[in-house]
Amino acid sequence: MTTTASPHIGATDAPGFWLDDPQHRDWLRQDARRQLDFFHASLGADGWIEQLDRAGQPRPGAPQELHAVTRLVHSYALGKQVGDTQADAMIDAGMQALWTRHRDTIHGGYLWAVDRSGVVDDVKLAYGHVFVLLAAASAKQVGHPDADRLLADIRDVLDTRYWDDKAGLLRDEFARDWTPFSTYRGMNANMHGVEALLTAYEATGQAEFLHRAGRILDFFTARMAPAHGWRLPEHYTQDWRVDPTYAGNPMFRPAGTTPGHSLELGRLLIQHWDLDGRRDQHAPSRARRLIEQALADAWREDGGFVYTLDAEGGHAIRDRYWWPVCEGIGAMAALIKLDRQPSDEQWYRRLWLHAALRHVDVRRGGWFPEIDESGAPCEIQFTGKPDIYHSLQAALFPLEPGLSRIAPKRFDRG
C-alpha cells in the first residue's frame, strides 16, 4: 500500500488511523478555519445575525432564528478555543441578540424568530430552549461576562416549563404565554437537551445537569432502542408512548425514524459515560449498537445517508444532507478513541471521503447542506449555508484527544 496523500482530506492511505495522521489533522484544522472565516459574515454591521447564501452573502429578509443564533455562539466559543481571532465579536453579538431580542420580557422564555420589525414567530420550543442552554454553557467555558446571567435564566425556564421530572424527559412546545397547544413529545429536543446538559455540566461542574442527561439517555438508549431493533422512535404521545403514525414538519419532524439522530445520540451516550466516571459498563455497547444499526440501515451505495427510514427500516426519504455525515464522523471518531477497530476506521475514512467530495466547499468555506441524485449541491430543503454547527464539530472533534466535548486548554492546535 502506498502513502500517497489524498487530494481531498490530506490523509495518507497507509495502514493505521487517520486520527493519528499529521496530514489529516492539518486538513481538519484548515477546514475548521475555512468554516469560521466563511461564517464571520453572519455578523451584520448592526449586530444582527444574518442567514447566508452559498457565497457567504446575507440573505435579504431572512429572520433571525433562535437555533441559528445559539449555534453560532456555541460554534464561535469552540472557535475561540482554537484561536479564531474574530470569535469574540460573534459571541458578543449572539449573546446580546439572545438577551435583548429573543428573550421574552413579558412571559419569559425565548422566541423562535424575530426580524428588525419585531416578532416573526413566537412559538416556544424545547428544541430552541436547549440550544440557549448550550450557548450559555459554551460562553461560560470561554469566560464571557454575560454567560452566568443567561445560564441562570434558561435553567429556570427549563426547570419550570419543560422538565418533566416524573418522566425524566423534556416536554416540547408552548404558545408564547405558555399555553400548551399540543401534546406532542419528541426525541429530537431531548437529544439536543442531552448535548446542552452535558456542556452545562462541563462548564459548571453541577451534577444535576449530568444526572438529567443520564435520565434522558436511559429512556432512549436503554429502553426505546432495544425494544425497536436499535432504531430510535422519534415521536411520542403525552404519556411517552411511541406514536408510529405521527407525521409533522417534513424537515424537523418527519415520519419514521431518522438514522442521523442515532449516530448523534450514540456519540452523546459515550460522552456521558466518560463524564460520569465510566460507571455503566453497558453504555459503550449500547452506543455501538445504535451507531452500527444506523450505518447499516441508512448508507446509500452512491454515498451519503438517507434522511429517514420507514417502520420496517426501509429507506423512506432518500434525500442526502450534510448533518448526518457530520454526526457519523463524530460517532466514528468517538468509537475509534474508545476502541481502535479497523472496521471503524474504514467507516471514518468513507465518511470523510464522501464529505470532502460532495459537501465541503474548499474554495469558499462552509459545507453544502444537501446534494441531489447526481451528487451535486442543490437547494431543495435548505437555502444557502444554514449554519456552521454540525460541520465545525465534525472537523474539531477528531482533533480532541478525549471522548468528552471539546473543552478549553485541551485542544491540539498543532
Q: Is residue 198 part of a domain?
A: yes
Quickly state the pLDDT bin for 212 (edges 50, 70, 90): very high
CA 60 – CA 297 distance, rounded (Å): 39
Please write the tens of the pLDDT for every residue from 60-104: 999 999 999 999 999 999 999 999 999 999 999 999 999 999 999
Q: 285 pLDDT band (50/70/90 cuts)?
A: very high
**Is 390 an active-site residue?**
yes
Position 412 in a domain: no
Note whether residue 10 is domain-resident: no
Q: Tell me whether residue 7 is in a domain.
A: no
pLDDT digits (tens, 9 = 90+) for 160-208: 999 999 999 999 999 999 999 999 999 999 999 999 999 999 999 999 9
Checking if the pLDDT of 4 tops 80, the result is: no
Q: Which three cell numbers stand for residue 16?
A: 493505521
261 is catalytic: yes
Q: Considering the candidates 74, 235, 272, 390, report the single residue annotated as catalytic.
A: 390
Q: Is the pLDDT of residue 412 over 50?
A: no
Given the residues 261, 272, 354, 359, the one annotated as active site: 261
329: pLDDT confidence band, cut at 50, 70 and 90? very high
The crossing angle, in degrees rounded to 10, of helices 126-141 and 66-81 is: 20
**What is the SS3 assignment for 17?**
coil
Please report whether residue 407 resides in a domain.
no
Tell me whether residue 156 is in a domain. Answer: yes
Domain that holds residue 140: 18-399
Give the pairing type, strands 235-236 and 185-186.
antiparallel
**pLDDT value, residue 405:** 62
Distances in whole angstroms, Cα of residue 298 to Cα of each of 171, 295, 395 = 28, 6, 22
Cβ–Cβ under 8 Å, residues 96 and 150: no
What CATH number is associated with residue 360?
Answer: 1.50.10.10
Residue 266 in domain: yes
pLDDT (tens digit per residue) in 109-165: 999 999 999 999 999 999 999 999 999 999 999 999 999 999 999 999 999 999 999
For residue 406, pLDDT beyond 70: no
The pLDDT assigned to 280 comes to 96
In a domain, 4, yes or no: no
Element (H, E) at 113: strand 113-115
Tally of structural domains, the chain:
1
Say what the pLDDT of residue 410 is.
Answer: 43
* Residue 414 pLDDT exceeds 50: no
What local confidence, expressed as pLDDT, does residue 242 receive? 98
